[in-house]
Amino acid sequence: MPTRAITKHRPHDDAPDTAAAFRSLAALPDGAEREALRDEIVEAWLPMADRLAGRFRSRGENLDDLRQVAALGLVKAVDRYDPDLGNAFESYAVPTVTGEIKRHFRDHMWTLHVPRRVQELRNRVRLASQELSQTIPGRRPTVAEIAEHASLSEEEVRAGQEALESFSALSLDAELPGSDDGYSLGDALGAPDPALDTVVDREAVKEGLAALPERERAILYMRFFDDMTQSGIAEELGISQMHVSRLISRCCGRVREHALRDTGEE
């Protein structure tokens, strides 16, 4: 029966000696015995997978979930590893597990779809910022310093910094930090100013109004700006309400015709 001994060099070492176990695994046919040996190898390398998962603990994902993703990557590495190629399992497993974790972040953690190139810029900018922060105490590194350190252009650094803020999205219904009255992000968003719709109209009638006699302009001003009634205007000017009504209708018609003539919509 093939040997399947799995040993560690030191109690704290997460790179066990599984060379003989992998040779035995390659020689075994499918079945319960092969599955059992495969499980032993996976279990022996789990500390290494946990260590790799721990490198990503500060990126917003639960560590237990990262460990599960790393374990999945480890299983794939064990299944795909070929000891006959002569490479150590660790040199194959580490990039496989790390790649699985990065794929998890790329496919499941981004709320907004961000191109892979931008994600890579984000990671390089984040790493460069962390490294520079250790050598530049008391302030944050500048865009130029990050660009030089990461061998990026300043435009690429800015794109990466924007991506740092795009990892997750905030609901418009979410209450703003420090708000005690339920004020949400949606309440802080602007909206079209309804007064903008009247700007064009005001400009269109400006010349037509200027062309009216002074009394007619006064009547329109009292009616539409002072919000006076026709009877109030009639009393103010000492004329009949019917006359005021006819003047308003006639003036509005003239102004409308003038505006349409200027815009070519007659």
CATH fold match for the domains 116-188 and 194-263: yes
Please report the pLDDT score of residue 6 as a whole number: 60
Entry pTM: 0.44
Please report the pLDDT score of residue 43 as a whole number: 93
- The residue to which tokens 């900018």 are assigned: 125
**Who has greater pLDDT, 14 or 46?**
46
Please report the pLDDT score of residue 108 as a whole number: 65
Q: Which of 9-13, 76-80, 166-170, 216-220 bottoms out in mean pLDDT, i.e. has the lowest? A: 9-13
Non-local (6+) Cβ contacts of 155 within 8 A are: none
CA distance 99 to 103: 6
The string of pLDDT tens digits covering residues 66-96 is 899 999 999 999 999 988 888 889 988 999 9
| Domain over 194-263 is classified CATH 1.10.10.10 | yes
What's the mean pLDDT in 204-227? 87
Could you tell me which CATH number the domain at 116-188 has?
1.10.10.10
From 103, 107, 150, select the one nearest 126 (Cα to Cα): 150
The per-residue pLDDT of the chain, averaged, comes to: 82
Count of Cβ atoms closer than 10 Å to residue 136 Cβ:
13
The string of pLDDT tens digits covering residues 159-213 is 888 877 666 666 677 776 666 666 777 777 777 777 777 887 788 888 888 888 8
The string of pLDDT tens digits covering residues 120-149 is 888 888 888 888 887 877 788 899 999 999
The string of pLDDT tens digits covering residues 50-60 is 999 998 887 76
| Domain over 19-109 is classified CATH 1.10.1740.10 | yes
**How much of the chain exceeds pLDDT 70, in percent?**
83
Please report the pLDDT score of residue 179 as a whole number: 63
| Residue ranges per structural domain of the chain | 19-109, 116-188, 194-263
From 81, 55, 82, select the one nearest 70 (Cα to Cα): 55
